[in-house]
Each structure stands twice: as C-alpha cells, then as structure tokens.
Structure 1
Amino acid sequence: MEREQALQIVKVQLTEHRYEHTIGVMETAIKLADQYGGDVQKAELAAIFHDYAKFRPKEEMRQIIIEQKMPEELLEYNGELWHAPVGAYLVEKEAGITDDEVLDAIRYHTSGRVGMTLLDKIIYLADYIEPGRHFPGVEEVRSMAAEDLNLALIQSMKNTIQFLMKKNQPVFPDTFKAYNSIVKNSGG
C-alpha cells in the first residue's frame, strides 16, 4: 500500500492532533529503520497505522478483545492499551494489511513483548520519541536512540513503568516482561 493511500485511510480515523502525531511517528520510524537496518517500507506502514483504533469506542474495543479471543487480561488494565491489539485486528480487517510483522508492530506498540523484532522496537520507540512528544525524559531517549536502539528502548520502558508506578497505576505484565527480556539480551 502506498503512503498517500495509507494516510488517507488513517486520517478519517484520527483527530487532527493525532494525525500530526502519526506523521511524526512515520518520519521517526523511517529514520530509525534506515539507521538500524530495518525494512523502511514496513516501518512506514506500521507507523501510519499504529493508532488506527485509538478513537474507537471503548465498548467496541472491549467486544473485539472478547470476540477475537485476545488476552482478556487486557481488560483488567488501562483502556489506553486496547487500541494496539484492536488496531492490529482492524487494520487487517478494514485496510486489508496482512503482513504479520507490520500487524505485530502495531499490536505491541503500547506494551512491548518478549522477543521484540527490530520492527516492533522501531515502532514502539518512534511512537515514544516522535518530535511532537514533550514530557520529562523524552529528550534523553531521543539522544539514546541516535546511538543505541536497545538502550533507548530500555530507557523508554523504564520511564513508562516509573510514570505508572508514581501514579499508582498497574503496569501491564507484558511491559515488565519486555523490559526484562531486552535488558537480559543487551547485556544489562
């Protein structure tokens, strides 16, 4: 699917602000893929569609999680996580994208997972560091991303986990597992 076609499909699903975020994620994902030897076309496509389901009604997302036999554990955590796995399902169903790597990068862009692929890492990190993001710690992760993808990923996950803990919010277990996996595999 060509960039312009993908962007037109996504644009009607998003607010103007979220569409601008998507463009930033796309541009960042392309740079990261180019820098780290990833598939630039897949990175571009996954980035464009990563927030496809972001503004779907919570009840619709809840039903899809149940009907598609996604881990119901998702329903016990913040609804902000839901748009990623639901988005992967809807992107396949509604936009006709069937590339498993692209769909997985969309599916895990909020939680991460054990054994993240290069594309998973690129989309997770691009979403975190795109130029429109402004929050404590993002500049440090941007700098790290220019030097070491895994170290940047570790820091972004650490920041997210600490943020949730400071707010007394539960942390989705897959995020802890992803963090641990990347730390172990990058030599600590």
Structure 2
Amino acid sequence: MTDVAAASEALWQQLDQVETHSPFTALSGQLLLGVPRDASAAIDAILRTTRLNFCNIGLGIGPLYEPVPQDAELVDGRAVHRALGALEAAGHRGERVPICVSGPEEDIATGIEGLLRLLGQSIRTRSAAEWAVVDLMTPGVRGQQRAIAEALDITPQAVSAAIVRSGFNDEHDARAGLSRLLELADQA
C-alpha cells in the first residue's frame, strides 16, 4: 500500500469515529465534507484529522439549511460556504498546523482557530507509545490504567507516565472549553 493510500485509509478510519448528522464524504479530489453532530464532534473531527499531519482543515461556523440532509454532498448553508473559504485559507497560510476557522464574529473565530492550532501542535508531538495509551483511554473513567497496562503489556506506571507526557488530561479539558466556545460562536 502506498503512503498516500495508507494516509487516506487512516483518515477515513479516524473520521468514521466522529458522530455526524451527515457523514464525511469525498466531494471532489481531496475535498472532504461532513456535518458533525455538535460542537464537541466538530472538535473531535478536527483533532483526529490534525493527528495525521497531512491535511488542511477548514471549519465554518453558522447555519445550515434545514433539514440537514444525510448526504454531505447535499448540505448547504452559510457554514458550508465559510468552511470552504476557511479550507482554502488554511492551504495558503503556511501554518505548522493548517487549520482555519471562519464565523460570524471574526475575533472569536480567530481565537478558536489559534486554540485549535495550539492543541493540534500538542497532539502531533505524541510518540507512538503515547498514542497507544491515549487511544485506549476513556475520559472520566477511573481505574482504567491497569487494564490498559495489561492490554499493552506494560506497567501501570508506564501508562501513568504516558498519560502525563501526552497531555491527555489537558487535551480533554481543552476540548470541552473549545466546544463551549464553538457553541457560543454559533449562537452569535
């Protein structure tokens, strides 16, 4: 399998885990569009894509025409147009983490964009060993470190160290904050 095919398969595997109104669909060439279920799912989609380190990402904040169709190709509204503009801008800015956000309040969209880039850069620095642990974590569930250690055949102390080094708990808290900001921006 070529590197491009493997990267594409990894992207689809990540996006298939995101809860959506309209599942992510390839519209043309390398353009994907989907409608996450809510702000939290949108943040999840962005960070799952950022993890792979080969995609430009555009997020549009705003309304969609109702009812939102199941087929992403039929979705339309201000959010879609903003997302496409944001995606184009992300490809031209030359940022280390190519994420661009467009919304009704430019200063709020810029703030969300900066926070997403910062969080994206943080998760991109994780080692394969840290990802192995993080991928098995469920936020808020107590007592799972021993089970993860057994599954990975490592010590519970190694799991604990990987959680700290990876910034997993900070990411979890930041995701919640970003989701709330995105909800507020969408209400603006």
Q: What interval of TM-score do these two structures reach, taking the shorter chain for normalisation? A: under 0.3
Q: TM-score, normalised by structure 2?
A: 0.27
Larger Rg, first or second structure (1 or 2): 2
- Structure with the largest fraction of helix: 1
Higher RCO (CA-CA < 8 Å; seq separation 6+): 1
- Structure with the largest fraction of strand: 2
